[in-house]
Each structure stands twice: as structure tokens, then as C-alpha cells.
Amino acid sequence: MLPGVKMIVGLVSGLLGGFFGGLLGLGGGIIMIPLMTWLGRITQHSAHGTSLVAIVFTALSGAGAYYIHGKLDWKTALVLAASATVTARFGARYAHSLSEKRLKKAFGLFLVFASVMLVTKSYLPTRGLGLEWWSSAIIFLVIGSATGFISGLMGVGGGGIMVPLMVILGNMGQHTAQGTSLLAMVPAGMSGAATHYRLGNVDTGLVWGLSIGSLVGGYFGATAANLFPELHLRIAFATLGIWVGMRYIRA
């Protein structure tokens, strides 16, 4: 593929992934990875590693937009990131050890799970369990550890896991949980992306366009999330996600 074409594919994938990632409180990998494998014609392993590089930019710009609107919890984000940053590198190494076929099936299963969570988290209780902050911090360390590993393995930010648990356990509003999740993704994504890069799983021809698109798309997606409810969009996106996930599982 010509360098110019790769740049365009990366830019389009990044814009779409960044926008929906910022809008829904995700990193955008569940959108960017299928686009890169189908349009960019790269391997599943390279798509996961390249996606994580872009997710850093999506999360950074998205978290900035949520911060402007006062929808971000710094303390919780730091606790989540502390453990996620460590385990993300192990997830990246495990992804590298899997065959192309097994990694595709694993991504398909995760995509179906994340799509279902996108819809069901809208019906989660808005009041938390009332735990003391230190108790929540311990739980968040565990959540961060699991999310970091999944992030490195699947090439995603992990917001589909973090956000619902923060709503239930952290007594957070939906938008605050999304902003906090995006901030925690920044160091975790950097850790996973660096490991993938060392393993040769980052496509440098796609990464520049992908990163620029993610930076722009993430900001506008996060801004849009604070302007209108997105339940119908979640349902439509989840339906598409399940369809794409099933295609990966059958591959």
C-alpha cells in the first residue's frame, strides 16, 4: 500500500475511532482495529499495537474535554493507572504469543462483550455502594490491573470495563466515569504501546495519520458527550459491534 494511502486510512480510522471513543468513554480501539485490518490490510497483531499508540492521543484529548466540563476525578484516575500501566505490558506480550487466528477470535469475543456492556451500563444504578474512599481505591487497583492486561492484549483502552465499575463502586456519574477512564488510559496505553513497538507490532505507516485523527476525533467526541444523551447511539453502535465481533469469531 502506498504511503499516502496508508496515511489516509490511518487518518479516517483515527477520526472515527477517536470520535466514538471520546463520545462513549472508550479508547476507540474496537473501531480502529477492524478498520486497520480491513482497509489497511495489516496483521491482527500490528493492528492491536498500532491502535494502542493512537489510543494514547484519543484518551489525552478526550480527558481534556471532560476536564473542561468538570467531569473528571483525578485521584481515581491515578489509582487506576498505577496498576494498569504495569499489567498492560504483560497483556501486550501475551497477545504477541498468540497465533493470528486465536487473537482474532479473542478480539471478536471481547468486541461482543464490550458492545453488550455499552448498552447495559446505561441501566446501571446511579448511586454507588457508599464505600469509603480507601476501600474503593483497593478495588480500583484490582480493576486497573485487569483492565491494563486486557488493554495490552486487545489493543483497546478498557473503558468498557472501567466505566461501569466506577459507576457502581465509585459513586460516579456516567460522564465523570468516562472522563476518568480516559485519563487513566493515557499512561496504560503508553505502556502497552511501547511493549508492542519493541515486539514489532506497530505499523509506522499508519500510526501518524491514526494518531492525528484520534487526537482530533477524541476531543470532538468527548465534547459531544457532554451536550446530549447518547443511548440510541449506544444501541446502534452495540448492534454493529456484535455483528463485527461475530465475523471475527467465525474467521
Q: What is the pLDDT of residues 100-153, one digit of tens each?
A: 999 999 999 998 988 887 777 666 555 555 556 667 778 889 889 999 999 999
Please give the single-letter amino acid code of residue 247: R
Provide mean pLDDT across the span 79-101. 96
Task: Quote the CA–CA distance of 10 and 15 in Å, as a whole number.
Answer: 9
> Mind listing the pLDDT tens digit for each residue in 35-86?
999 988 999 999 999 999 988 888 888 888 889 888 888 888 999 999 999 9
H-helix segments, 39-99: 44-68, 74-97
- Cβ atoms 27, 59 nearer than 8 A: yes
Q: What is the DSSP string of 168-227?
A: HHS---HHHHHHHHHHHHHHHHHHHHHHHHHTT---HHHHHHHHHHHHHHHHHHHHHHTT
Question: Higher model confidence: residue 210 or residue 165?
Answer: 210
Reported as a single tens digit per residue, the pLDDT across 233-250 is 677 778 888 888 998 998
Residue 33 vs residues 46, 67, 74, 132, 244: alpha-carbon distances, Å: 9, 27, 29, 38, 11
Q: What is the pLDDT of residue 124?
A: 58
- C-alpha cell of residue 126: 446511579
